[in-house]
Amino acid sequence: MTKQHGSARLIIILVALLSIVIGVVGYQVLFAEKKMELIRNFDQPRSIVAFEGKSHNGDTYTESDFLGQWSIVFFGFTTCPDICPTAMTNINGVMKNIDPEFKKDTQVVMMSVDPERDTLDKLAKYVPAFNPEFIGVNAGWDETQKVAKSVGVSFYKVPVEGRPDDYTIDHTARWFVIDPLGRRYAYISPNQVQRGKDLIQVVASDYNILREKAGELHSNGQ
């Protein structure tokens, strides 16, 4: 074998190996399982407890209003100084960036954890200000406690120092995803976003992955 033929053979082998490497990497990029960064599925989806409240427009709102669509639920209150308006603004941003097909059947609900002060009028001014399609719900203290426990939320009154008749509310800052069967399906921890990453883009991407996986499970009869 001449030196020239040997070199040509070596080049062919190297090209073949490079093609294999490119093929493997391309397959991994295209078909590797997509992973979520901030959304976590509950190990076992659990049905939301029965409850009855009112939406900000005065309609009765119960656990049945979660059926047949996906829901992103946040537990907050209208006089919250920072966490709640930030969360509602970010959720609105997420809704603008998710797949349009998923947006069609996703509702956003803010359940008030301060039902004594959050009248329907206050909710009607507060919640739709972030997005006209968002829904504010007042279910009263006892009913809201039931729902919160069912989902995995805690909230309680905290007296304001120097103002004995005033209080604020300490509450869970997570957002929750409820599936069309009315079950708590996943939760979102916005404060765990990595430094330098865009929270809205990360959650929107995670939500798209969540819905794609849920669709695959449905297609497979699971």
Tell whether 218 is in a known binding site: no
Model confidence at 127: pLDDT above 50: yes
Model confidence at 58: pLDDT above 90: yes
Asked if 50 and 107 sit in the same domain, the reply is: yes
Q: What is the pLDDT of residue 215?
A: 83
Asked if 199 and 101 sit in the same domain, the reply is: yes
Q: What is the pLDDT of residue 25?
A: 47
Asked if 106 and 26 sit in the same domain, the reply is: no
Tell whether 80 is in a known binding site: yes
Model confidence at 31: pLDDT above 90: no
C-alpha 200/C-alpha 92 separation (Å) is: 9
Asked if 188 and 80 sit in the same domain, the reply is: yes
C-alpha 73/C-alpha 50 separation (Å) is: 16
C-alpha 1/C-alpha 6 separation (Å) is: 7
**Backbone phi and psi for residue 86, each to the nearest 5 degrees, phi listed first:** -65, -45
Quick one: average pLDDT of 11-29? 54
How does residue 216 score in pLDDT terms, banded at 50, 70 and 90?
confident
Asked if 5 and 71 sit in the same domain, the reply is: no
Asked if 116 and 162 sit in the same domain, the reply is: yes
Q: What is the pLDDT of residue 133?
A: 98
Asked if 63 and 21 sit in the same domain, the reply is: no
Q: Strands 70-76, 106-112: parallel, antiparallel or unpaired by DSSP?
A: parallel
Asked if 49 and 8 sit in the same domain, the reply is: no
Tell whether 171 is in a known binding site: yes
C-alpha 100/C-alpha 175 separation (Å) is: 20
Model confidence at 69: pLDDT above 90: yes
Q: Are the CB atoms for 190 and 45 separated by under 8 Å?
A: no
Quick one: average pLDDT of 118-133? 98
- CATH number for the domain spanning 46: value is 3.40.30.10
How does residue 2 score in pLDDT terms, banded at 50, 70 and 90?
low
Q: What total number of domains does the chain contain?
A: 2
Q: pLDDT per residue over 95-117, tens digit each?
A: 999 999 999 999 999 999 999 99
C-alpha 115/C-alpha 112 separation (Å) is: 6
Asked if 12 and 51 sit in the same domain, the reply is: no
Asked if 23 and 129 sit in the same domain, the reply is: no
- Domain range holding 17? 1-32
Beta bridge partners of 176: 73, 187
Model confidence at 20: pLDDT above 80: no
- Residue at token pair 């080049």: 11
Q: What angle do CA 67, 152, 122 make, to 5 degrees?
A: 70
Closest listed residue to residue 87, CA positions, set 105, 73, 99: 73
Asked if 98 and 149 sit in the same domain, the reply is: yes
- Between residues 190 and 165, the one the model is more confident about: 190
Asked if 14 and 105 sit in the same domain, the reply is: no
